[in-house]
Amino acid sequence: MTFKIIFQQLMDGSVLLVVGAIAATAVNPAVAQSVSPPAQIAQTPTSLIGSWRLVNMTQPGSPMPMVSAQATEVTAEFAGDRIFGSGGCNRFMGSFQTEDAQLSISPLASTFIACEDAVMTQETLYLTALQAAQQYEIDANGNLAIFYETDQGSGVLRFAAQPTETTEPNQSSEPVQGLW
- Residue 4 neighbours by CB distance under 10 Å: 12
Question: Is the separation of the CB atoms in 50 and 78 below 8 Å?
Answer: yes
Band of pLDDT at residue 14, cut at 50, 70 and 90: very low
Q: Could you tell me which residues are beta bridge partners of residue 65?
A: none
Average pLDDT over residues 60-84: 79
What's the mean pLDDT in 3-12? 47
Q: What is the pLDDT of residues 149-171, one digit of tens each?
A: 998 889 999 999 998 664 444 44
Number of domains in the chain: 2
Residue 21 forms part of a structural domain: yes
Give 126 or 4, the one with higher predicted confidence: 126
Residues 55 and 122 occupy one common structural domain = yes
2 and 15, same domain (yes or no): yes
CA distance 41 to 152: 32
Instruction: Answer yes or no: do 79 and 6 share one domain.
Output: no
Same-domain pairing of 110 and 98: yes
Residue 46 has pLDDT above 60, yes or no: no
Q: What is the pLDDT of residue 29?
A: 35
Q: In the chain, pLDDT over 70 holds for what percent of residues?
A: 58
Let me know: does 79 contact 3? Beta carbons within 8 Å. Answer: yes
Q: Which helix (H) or strand (E) holds 155?
A: strand 153-162
pLDDT digits (tens, 9 = 90+) for 87-121: 999 999 999 999 999 999 999 999 999 999 989 98
Residue 149: per-residue pLDDT:
93
Q: How does residue 17 score in pLDDT terms, banded at 50, 70 and 90? A: very low
Of all helices (H) and strands (E), which one includes residue 50?
A: strand 50-59
| Closest C-alpha among 53, 108, 55, 48 to residue 78 | 48
Residue 99 lies in a domain: yes
pTM confidence score: 0.65
The predicted structure's pLDDT at residue 3: 44
Element counts in the chain: helices (H) and strands (E): 4, 10
Q: Is residue 180 part of a domain?
A: no
Instruction: Compute φ and ψ for 153, nearest 5 degrees.
Output: 135, -165
What's the confidence (pLDDT) of residue 53? 95
> Given this model, what pLDDT does residue 65 score?
63
Better-scored residue on pLDDT, 112 or 21: 112
Least confident span in 31-35, 42-46, 89-93, 120-124: 31-35
Of residues 148, 166, 137, the one with CA closest to residue 47:
137
Residue 90 covered by a domain: yes
